[in-house]
Each structure stands twice: as structure tokens, then as C-alpha cells.
Amino acid sequence: MDKIAVLIPCYNEAQTIQAVIDDFKKELPEGTIYVYDNNSTDDTYAIAKAAGVKVKKESRQGKGNVVRTMFREIDAECYLLVDGDDTYPAKDARNLCREVLENGADMVTGDRLSSTYFSENKRPFHNSGNVIVRNLINYFFKGNIKDILTGYRALSPLFAKSMPVLSKGFEIETEMNIHALDKNFVIKNVEVDYRDRPEGSDSKLNTVSDGLRVIKTIFQLFKDYRPLLFFSALAAFLTVLAVILGIPVFLDYFRTGLVERMPTLITAGFLMLAALLNLSCGFILDTENKKARQNFELQLNVLHQLIKGGNA
């Protein structure tokens, strides 16, 4: 088992991967560096291989797929996850790892937003998007994570081995945050510097499409992790619609003794029925979710003992 495993998922990072490897070799000489190439069409794989680090290929496209394979194949006391685009200085790595190795943190986020991100990042929609996503997750899941979409994280083995990676792409950061908040893992924020990509190095992210995918993931996970609140909100919305449609019909009936708008009354009735069904689904799924959480905690205890045995 490695003391520190530096995990670098890469896709077409030939311009920057050498600098990233050199920096982390210098700052974390005790760390084992793993580069997982995700179908790069440039020389990323060859450059990393020549640099003398452990290099593997992941054929399934997407960062989520790469991280899933990394967590499955690598055993370490601390996992340091960093992008291969040379935007995260290696000088902050030891501070992140210290929170896991010495202070018992399960997930440590490298907080760019409190330091240089807004001055260095040249894509204004990314700035506002980061703030929106951070506020949504912290509001829905009662958290205080400073930087939701950071690619610079230190993770405990308990977190990495229990993390059910379901997303295939860039949404993996969102998924990790929500998993950590929902399962009550110990989360720490460490301020880190950020620098924009060097000239000629292009981002793989699309501001609009990837932003929409992240927001979609938040609401999907909100439904999965908070079903009672999700379906109760939907039931409340349907109830309001039913009342808005139904009240005029009942007022007419009390005034004239006739139901003059039968289709409207039927629509209001179906809306109210749908509201009751959604509320029932919320209660049922909430009960199942609590049972799943209980099973997860029991399995987490077993996993913790296995990891301790592996470290002994």
C-alpha cells in the first residue's frame, strides 16, 4: 500500500503533463504518481511513460470512468487527486495530504475560489457557474464546501473505497461532494492557489453543456439522497395547481348549484391525486433510503477494519 498516491487523470495533456509530474516529484518525493491516460490523441501517454511514473490506460471515455478505475486498482493511505493541466501548484499538496494522514479528514477540497481563481480564470461563465453550483449543493445538502468543482482533492482510503462512482464524466466532483455530505464523512477545506492553463493548452470543458450536466446531476442526486423532500416539493407544487384550478369551480357551484367547468374539475382532481401519489412515493423511498444508509454504515465498519488490517 502506498503512503500517498498522486492520481492524475489525463486526456490530451501533452503540453503540461511533464511539468505536473516534475512538480509533484519535487514536492511529494514519498508519493507514488499514477497517470491514467483516457484515449489521448497526442503524446500524453509517451511523455508520462518516459517520466518514470506508473502509467495506465482507461479506454472508457470520461473523467468519472478514470476515477472509478483508479479507486478500484490503487491502494494507498492517502489519495491525492489532481488534474494534469498544470493549474494546481504542487506546493499545496502536502497541506491537503496532512489533513487526511494526521487530522482524520476523509475528503479535503482544494479551495481555489478563496484564493486566485477569479483573477486567474479567463472564462467568466465558469466563475459564476462555480458559485451557483456551490450554493445549490451547500443549500440542498446542508454543507459548507468552499469549492465544489475543484479537481484538487485529498481522500482517505475509507472514502475512496466506499465511493460508488456512477457518473462517467466531469460530474464526478459533484458526485463526490454529495456522497461525502450525505454519508457524514469528515470534510475539510484547504485554500490552494490556482493558475490558468498555459497558452496553447485548451480546456476540455464546455461551459454550457457541462454546466447543464452538473446541474442535472445535482437534481438527480437530490432526488436519490433526499427523496422525501424532493417528492414533497413536487406534491406541494401539484397541490397548488389543483387548488388554483379547483377553487373557481367550487365557487361557481356554491353560487349556482351547477358544475359548469367539468373538464377543469377533473383536471384539478387528477392533479390532487398525483400530488398524493408523489407524497406516498416520498415516504416509501425515504424509508428505503434510511435502510440503505444503515446498511452502508455497517459495511463501512467492515471496510474500515479491512483497511486497518491492510495498513498493519
Same domain (yes/no): 46, 107: yes
pLDDT tens digit at each of 312 positions of the chain: 789 999 999 999 999 999 999 999 999 999 999 999 999 999 999 999 999 999 999 999 999 999 999 999 999 999 999 999 999 999 999 999 999 999 999 999 999 988 878 777 766 556 677 788 899 899 989 999 999 999 999 999 999 999 999 888 888 999 999 999 999 999 999 999 998 877 666 666 666 676 777 888 888 889 999 999 999 999 999 999 999 999 999 988 888 888 888 899 999 999 999 999 999 999 999 999 999 999 999 999 999 998 887 765
Task: Round the CA-based radius of gyration of the chain to a whole number and report it.
Answer: 24
Same domain (yes/no): 233, 121: no
Distances 300 to 158, 183, 188 between C-alpha atoms, Å: 8, 10, 20
Q: Which of 96, 101, 95, 106 is closest to 2 using CA atoms?
A: 101
Same domain (yes/no): 240, 280: yes
Same domain (yes/no): 158, 18: yes
Same domain (yes/no): 303, 264: yes
Query: Do the strands 54-57 and 76-81 form a parallel or antiparallel pair, or are they unpaired?
Result: unpaired
How many domains is the chain partitioned into structurally? 2
Inter-residue contact 54 to 34 (CB < 8 Å) = yes
Same domain (yes/no): 129, 85: yes
Distances 244 to 222, 239, 250, 272 between C-alpha atoms, Å: 28, 9, 11, 11
Final residue of a structural domain among 224, 251, 283: 224
Identify the domain containing residue 30 by its residue range. 2-224
Final residue of a structural domain among 181, 198, 224: 224
Same domain (yes/no): 300, 206: no
Final residue of a structural domain among 155, 189, 224: 224
Exposure b/e, 190-219, CB count within 10 A at least 16 = b: bbbbbbbbeeeeeeeeeeeebbebbbebbe
Same domain (yes/no): 37, 62: yes
Same domain (yes/no): 25, 143: yes
For position 217, what pLDDT does the model report? Answer: 86
- The CATH number assigned to the domain holding 144 equals 3.90.550.10
Same domain (yes/no): 123, 146: yes
For position 133, what pLDDT does the model report? Answer: 86
Distances 188 to 70, 77, 221 between C-alpha atoms, Å: 22, 17, 22
Distance CA 297, CA 139 (A): 24
Distance CA 133, CA 52 (A): 38
Same domain (yes/no): 205, 289: no
Same domain (yes/no): 195, 262: no
